[in-house]
Amino acid sequence: MDAVYDVYSVLWVDLRNMRRHWRSTVATSLILPFLYLIAFGYGLGRGINLDGVNYLTFVVPGIVALTAFSTSFNGAASKLQIDKFFYKSFDELLMSPVSLPSIVIGKALIGVLRGLISSTAILIVGLYLTPTLTIGPLFVVVLFVSCFVFALFGVLVALVINSHQGMSTFSNLVILPMTFLCGTFFALSQMPDVAKAVLYVLPLTHSSQCLRAAALAQPFPWLSLVALLGFGASFFVGSVFALKKASI
């Protein structure tokens, strides 16, 4: 119970901030996914079939995965960097009697919450446009796991990178390519074997594969779910280690 209370104590501060700015937060996180849905689903993908379904049905789970990725990552990373560089409150958190794992989880949960809200909004629109999608318990579990993994990724990156310029460089070199190349807008079967090998070492690829399989009632890639959980464990351990270095 003490660990749960510690996690909530860390999360509570971010929840208060989100409550004041939730409208702008949700609106800004939905702009790009809606643009992708219109451009790729209705624009470029009109009349195209992929993996036995029309392209709009194919691309909606990928856009949900992309929304979970971008919103959860940015929600956790940006808030942590603001605490470190603008409010200068993160050092006070490190000096508090809160365990390092609780700090990591508490800081990640704000990203999880934002990711779930934005992903659900996109999913509702997607279900209206493509009512043939299957949204069952497995899809919900994968979406939650994805948001948690991506939020932990954001925490780790924010702890390791110590400048806004460094975060911008990381986003351009890593986050932006992941957005377009991890099977969110196309089937990985179309890629060369070398490219597929590279893409399968990125967490968004496994999230896209799992969410699409669950939504389209296709054979579920359990190995991708295991890989996604492995990424989450690695990001968590890396974040705790980074906090230990920062608190010395």
Q: How much is the pLDDT for 46?
A: 60
Sequence-separated (6 or more) residues with CB below 8 Å from residue 147: 68, 72, 111, 112, 115, 116, 119
Q: How much is the pLDDT for 72?
A: 93
Q: How much is the pLDDT for 209?
A: 93
The domain limits of the chain are 2-247
For residue 192, give the 3-state DSSP assignment: coil
Helix (H) or strand (E) holding 170: helix 164-170
Q: What secondary structure letter does DSSP report for 175?
A: I
pLDDT tens over the chain, length 248 residues:
667 877 877 888 777 777 766 666 667 767 777 777 777 766 665 666 666 678 888 888 999 999 999 999 988 888 888 777 776 667 777 777 788 888 899 889 989 998 998 898 888 888 888 878 889 999 999 999 999 999 999 999 998 988 778 888 888 888 888 888 888 888 887 788 888 888 899 999 999 999 999 999 889 999 999 999 999 999 999 999 988 887 65
pLDDT in tens, 3-42: 787 787 788 877 777 776 666 666 776 777 777 777 776 6
The residue assigned the tokens 């990711």 is 115
Q: How far is residue 13 from each of residues 19, 28, 118, 196, 204, measured CA to CA in Å?
A: 10, 21, 20, 41, 29
Strand 49-50 to 53-54 pairing: antiparallel
